[in-house]
Structures are given as C-alpha cells and as structure tokens.
Structure 1
Amino acid sequence: MAFSKDNLIGFVLALCSSGFIGASFIVKKKGLRKAAACGVRAGLGGYSYLLEPLWWLGMITMIVGEVANFVAYAFAPALLVTPLGALSIIVSAVLAHFILKEKLNNLGILGCLMCIVGSVIIVIHAPQERNITSVQEIWSMATQKVFLLYVGSVIVLVFILAIHLAPLCGHTNVLVFTGICSLMGSLSVMSVKALGISLKLTFEGNNQLIYPETWFFMTVVMTCVITQMNYLNKALDTFSTVVVSPIYYVMFTTLTIFASVILFKDWDGESGASIVSEICGFIVVLSGTILLHMTKGTEGLPSFKCDYQPVSPALSARLYTENGELIKCDDEDM
C-alpha cells in the first residue's frame, strides 16, 4: 500500500516523539532518585519529587514528546503511530545503560534490533488514515455498543487494580501500576486522536469547537493523562526503568491497537496479507520488548507474586533502591 503524505507526517512526528519520551524516562528517574534521598518516595505515596527541578525537566521533555505524538495521531492511524513507541524503549534502555548504570547486555541489544525490524514491518503495511469530516462522526463511532463495552471493561479493571490490588501488591508486582497506566492510556489515545482530528478540521476552516463532543474528548484526555502520570511515577520509582518501559509499552500498545480497531475500524478494507503482516510486525516488536525485559538480572527483581506484608512504621525512614539495597539519609541530611 502506498505511503500517503499524512502517514509520512505522522511517521516523522512519531519518531520525534519516541526520542523525547525515551529520554524523559531517564531524566525523571534521576529526579525521583534525587528527591527520594531525603524524602518520602513516590512509590510510597510521597510527592517530594514535585520540588525537584530535574524531575520537572523530565516532565517537560515528556510533554514535548506527547505533543508530537498528539499531532501524529491527527495525521496517521493508531496502528502506525502507537507501535513506533517501541523506539522510545530503545532510547530509554540505551540511556539507562550509560546514565543509570542499568546494564544492557547482548540480549538487550538483540531486543532493540527486533523492535526496529518490527516497527519497519508495521510502517510498510500500515493502513491509510480514515477520512473523517466531523467530530460528530467520531462520536457516532464511540457510542457503538462494542466500544462502549470496551470502555466499561477498562473502567472496572482500573478500579479493581487501583482500589483492591494496588495496596496489596502494587509494590511487588510491576503489572499493577503499569496495568492502570496502560488501560487508561488506551482510552486517552482514542480521545487524543478524536481531539486531534477536531483541531485539524478546525484549522482547515471547519470549526469543530462549537460541538460539545470536542470538549468532552478534551476532558477525557486530561483525566486519563493525569491518572497515567500518577501511576507511572509510582511504577518508575518502585521498579527498574528497564523493567517498566518494556512492560508498559507491550500492554499499552496492545490495548491501544485493540481499541483503535474497534473504534476507527482500521482493518476495514485491508487485505488479509496486510493484516497478517501488521500482526507479525507487532509480534516481532513484542518479542523485542520481552528480550529487553530479560536483560534485567533475576537478582533483585521484584516478585510477580501478589504477596502482601504489612508495612512497618519505620519503613518511611528507610529508602529502597530498585536493586533491593537499603539506603539511609545521613543524620546531617535528615
């Protein structure tokens, strides 16, 4: 299938977005470490990182990347833009190797190469962006029974993870915090795409700001992004970046593509060969992220079991690093 001008614009913006977002993980991680040196960690409910300039630099870097990603969704389908987020994992893993000293071995390098190959396959076989003429058309698709069922399932799962599982095993099971981020992320991408298309049409002279649907999508975006950022901070502060980034990408991308296929009918009119190629490319990318996950040694990794142990009162005086070692602030620093 020919690579259209809109797809090319979306592709370039997605590449820029991956670079900024991948770097932001590292900068924010360093900010979280610095803030945790003499304060309550974000993973334990602390917000001292809000006073750390390095964390804000990482946040600004992430915002720049997200803005580029936002614009990319207005030009290209989610099936093209979202999988390219694998490149942010590569950036994050490489920078973590050199800056955070989180070792990236030969298996991790192979995982990076697989992510690149899979992304190329997806880009080549990506579907064309659907021609949408108004935000009301998107609203009509969003209120279909199948997509409403998906939205309802996401909301229920988020409440179960946040209210029931997070207090029990959120600090031992990396899937809890990243699961909340991924589920909310799939809804935020659908709303971002709807909002991006609305603004694109508005700039082209077809004003969509007069419709309440546009403002509804904007509200959903803000709600989902705030929730994502909160739990992503918890995940980054509790677990290694090399662990969080791939798992978050796999879950987020899978759910987003699934939601996009339901809402925007990305595979309608596509040949069976193109669909199979896209799925194969996605599987290659997922395999690459799994290899990146395996680059983290088993020693010091948080358990995936949901074992709950009461938190002692003295725990707040002792800060855990991601490799499991205990550190204490000096008496003078305290």
Structure 2
Amino acid sequence: MENVSNLSSEDAAGGMVISQAFGAEVLTNPFHETYLLGIIISICGNVLISISLNIQKYAHVRQAQRRSKPYYTSVLWWCGVVLMGVGELGNFAAYGFAPASLIAPLGCVSVIASAIISVVFLKETVRASDIVGGTLAITGTYLLVTFAPHTSTHITAHLIQYYYVSWYFLLYLLIEIILFCILLYLYKRRNVKHIVIVMLLVALLASLTVISVKAVSGMITETIKGQLQFIYPIFYVMLVVMIVSCAFQIKFLNEAMKMFDATEVVPINFVFFTASAIIAGIIFYQEFEDLALLNIFMFLFGCLLSFLGVFLIARNRPKIKQQDRNFIPMDKIPGRRHTDKVQPEATTMTYGSLAAKLMCNRAGQADDS
C-alpha cells in the first residue's frame, strides 16, 4: 500500500488532474477533450451501426425482389458488414475515453438514426409514436451527456487489479453467478422459454463484457500513450473474459431472435444491457463516486426517457419473422390427417415421380388402418 500513501495531487487549476492509487489518473473537467472524444466516437459509431443495418436490410430486400444470388454475394451487403465492424470498433474505443455508464446508454442513438434512415431512404411510414419516441430519446440522450459522471479514469493494469479484488465487486460477481445459474437452470432444464429469462442471461453476460471491454480498451489506450500494459497478466485475463462473454452473449441473443420477433428483442435488450452496464460501471469502476444527488437523479431520468423513446420507436413495427404466403401448412388441409408425414421434399430426386405417389398412398393406407 506504499503507492496509496504516496498519492500526490496537482493543482486543480492546472488541468484538474489528480493522481490516484496505482498510477491511475482521474480527469474531473467535464469538458476535457478525452471525455468529449469518447462521446463523439460513441455517437459516430452508433450512427454507423444504424447505417450498416439499413444497408444490409436494403440488400436483403433487393436480392429478394430480384430472386437472384444469395445475399452474401452482394457487394452492398458486405459494405454494410464493414460499416458495422467500424461502428463496433468505435464503440470499443469509446470505452477507453469515457465512463461505461455513459457509453452504454448512448446506444439509443443507433435506434434513433435507424428510424430516421428507414423513413428517408427505405420509404417507411412515419408514425406518431416515432416522432414522440425520437423526441423522448433525444431529450434523454441530452440529459445523459449533461448529468453523467464527468470523470475519465486512466485505466492501468494495476488499477484493474485493485478493482478486481475489491470486496464489493467480488460480492457483486458472486450474486451475478448465482442468478445466472438459476436462470440457466430455468431456461435449459425447466424449459422456461420466456423472453425476460433469455434477455436477463444476455444482460448478466453483458455486464462482464462492459467491464472487460473498458479494461482492455483503456489499457490499449494507455499503451498507445507510452505506458506499456501488455506485460501484465491482467490484460490477457480481461481479453479472455471479453471474448468469452461476447461469444455467449451473441449465442443467447441469437436464440432470442429465433424464438421472438426483433421488435420485442431490440428494446428489451437495450434496456437490460444499459442497466447492466450502468451497474457494472458503478460497482467496478466506481463511476458514481462523489456524484451529486441531483446529477444521479437527472441521469436516471435521462435513462428512463431513452428507454421510453426506444420502446415507442420499436412498438408495432412490421414483424420481421413473416411466413411465406405461398406456403400452406400441410396439417391445415381439410380431410387429411398427418399429411406432414407424407409430403415429399421438393429437392429430392423422387419429387413428383411415381415413387413419391406410391409412398403417399402407402402412408395414407397406414393412417386409415
């Protein structure tokens, strides 16, 4: 604890930089260029993500209308994928410059931009709920940026190790592991396929993702500035946690997209992810320490407005999972029982042949008997 006792503080007028334990620096100027840079990078990254999603959607629609090659052969679709990668990279970098409790709620910018782009370029109908939701989300974003913790911590390996062994984080981690095991038991063993169960699994993993992403991004940023962090094992521990938590988060999110419509998954995922990121930032990085009560209240109020705005924008959107209207379920044909067992596949060699007809007749006689 010699480093803690040897803390030295610089003059507040000379940049308001205070040296903390283990060489960490906290920048308390709300208009510091590092803080603003993180906000700008996050907003630009979310706008790029929304543009990429709409480009991919347009590529899917165009390929379906032309009934031509698969979507992954489209240059336009790959442009959307590249843009999404750049946007996610921007979000990753933003965690190294600004608090995690601010970067995560700024994800609502992607929803707002996507709604505007879909109306302007994809010619979707403007609804009253879109206007009200967009207004609420923009107002909430302004409150988030204004009243969020205006501190930007220089993340170092020693600081991460110090936070990692703190009793409140260990208690939080234990509670999260217990909750995750209970939810996983309900989901896998008890077969409770409720959207809240699945999205809570994603949110619990997301909290670890946010912690590890900010740690890795911050240590990379410090390395670029000249303080090498790659020599410490904690960097690689956080890198592994980031990769594993991201992989399982994507796994459960894809399962949710298969079982439920995207208009349900997107807003619930945004709310749960944002809440888990804020809690992770408060507990692990102590981002709300010494924050005024009014700032905390207005920050949470801004989050609430953003949540309501996202729900209004996503509400009553056209369902993405739509069944082909030319397809008639075989079990709905009147006067025929268990016809799903006798319908031959269109891709088989016997489709439409005498062998297929004989197979159907034999199955029908078996059913009648």
TM-score range, shorter chain: 0.7 to 0.9
Q: In structure 1, what is the Cα distance between the partners aligned to 2:200 and 2:79? A: 25
- 1:236-255 matched pairs, under 5 angstroms: 236-255=257-276
Q: How big is the shift at 1:149?
A: 2.5
Q: In structure 1, what is the Cα distance between the partners aligned to 2:118 and 2:175? A: 35
Q: Deviations over 1:37-80 (max 9, x none)?
A: xxxxxxxxxxxx99777876655433322210111110111122
1:269 to 282, 290, 294: 290
Native 8 Å contact 1:188 1:225 kept in 2: yes
Q: How big is the shift at 1:150?
A: 2.2
Q: In structure 2, what is the Cα distance between the partners aligned to 1:153 and 1:28? A: 39
Residues 57, 153 of structure 1: CA spacing in aligned structure 2 closer, same or farther, 3 A cutoff?
Answer: farther
- Structure 2 match to 1:331: 346
Q: In structure 1, what is the Cα distance between the partners aligned to 2:84 and 2:243? A: 15
Q: In structure 2, what is the Cα distance between the partners aligned to 1:3 and 1:86? A: 22
- Structure 1 match to 2:138: 116
Q: Which runs of 5+ in 1 are unaligned?
A: 36-48, 301-320
Native 8 Å contact 2:35 2:152 kept in 1: no
- Structure 2 match to 1:84: 106
More deviation, 156-165/118-127: 156-165
Q: How big is the shift at 1:92?
A: 3.4
- Structure 2 match to 1:304: none
- 1:121-160 matched pairs, under 5 angstroms: 121-132=143-154, 134-160=156-182
3-state DSSP of counterpart to 1:74: coil
The answer to whether residue 282 in structure 2 is matched with residue 282 in structure 1 is no
Q: TM-score, normalised by structure 1?
A: 0.75
Q: In structure 2, what is the Cα distance between the partners aligned to 1:88 and 1:149? A: 33
- Structure 1 match to 2:252: 231
- Structure 2 match to 1:19: 47
The answer to whether residue 281 in structure 2 is matched with residue 260 in structure 1 is yes
3-state DSSP of counterpart to 2:287: coil
Q: In structure 2, what is the Cα distance between the partners aligned to 1:143 and 1:220? A: 16
Amino acid at match of 1:272: L
Q: In structure 1, what is the Cα distance between the partners aligned to 2:51 and 2:198? A: 21
More deviation, 143-152/246-255: 143-152
Native 8 Å contact 2:187 2:198 kept in 1: no
2:217 to 196, 207, 231: 196
- Structure 2 match to 1:222: 243
Q: Which runs of 5+ in 2 are unaligned?
A: 1-28, 64-69, 329-344, 352-369
3-state DSSP of counterpart to 2:153: coil
Q: In structure 2, what is the Cα distance between the partners aligned to 1:275 and 1:224? A: 29
Native 8 Å contact 2:281 2:287 kept in 1: yes
Native 8 Å contact 1:102 1:242 kept in 2: no
Residues 155, 51 of structure 1: CA spacing in aligned structure 2 closer, same or farther, 3 A cutoff?
Answer: farther
Amino acid at match of 1:4: H
Q: In structure 2, what is the Cα distance between the partners aligned to 1:3 and 1:30? A: 39
Q: How big is the shift at 1:29?
A: 6.5
Residues 270, 28 of structure 1: CA spacing in aligned structure 2 closer, same or farther, 3 A cutoff?
Answer: same
The answer to whether residue 25 in structure 2 is matched with residue 7 in structure 1 is no
More deviation, 151-160/260-269: 151-160
Report how many aligned residue pairs link the two structures.
298
3-state DSSP of counterpart to 2:200: helix
Q: How big is the shift at 1:278?
A: 1.1
Native 8 Å contact 2:154 2:222 kept in 1: no
Q: How big is the shift at 1:327?
A: 6.6
1:75 to 70, 86, 97: 97
Percent of aligned pairs with the same amino acid:
28
Native 8 Å contact 1:23 1:92 kept in 2: yes
More deviation, 207-216/173-182: 173-182
Amino acid at match of 2:109: L
Larger radius of gyration: 2
Q: In structure 1, what is the Cα distance between the partners aligned to 2:195 and 2:326? A: 22
Q: In structure 1, what is the Cα distance between the partners aligned to 2:199 and 2:100? A: 20
Q: In structure 2, what is the Cα distance between the partners aligned to 1:114 and 1:243? A: 19
Native 8 Å contact 1:29 1:236 kept in 2: no
Residues 282, 118 of structure 1: CA spacing in aligned structure 2 closer, same or farther, 3 A cutoff?
Answer: same
Q: TM-score, normalised by structure 2?
A: 0.69
Q: How big is the shift at 1:98?
A: 7.4
- Structure 1 match to 2:363: none
Q: Deviations over 1:87-140 (max 9, x none)?
A: 112233445667889866211321122111100111112222343362121221
Amino acid at match of 2:39: F
Q: In structure 1, what is the Cα distance between the partners aligned to 2:205 and 2:263? A: 21
The answer to whether residue 345 in structure 2 is matched with residue 322 in structure 1 is no
Q: How big is the shift at 1:262?
A: 0.8
2:229 to 208, 215, 226: 208
Q: How big is the shift at 1:5?
A: 0.7
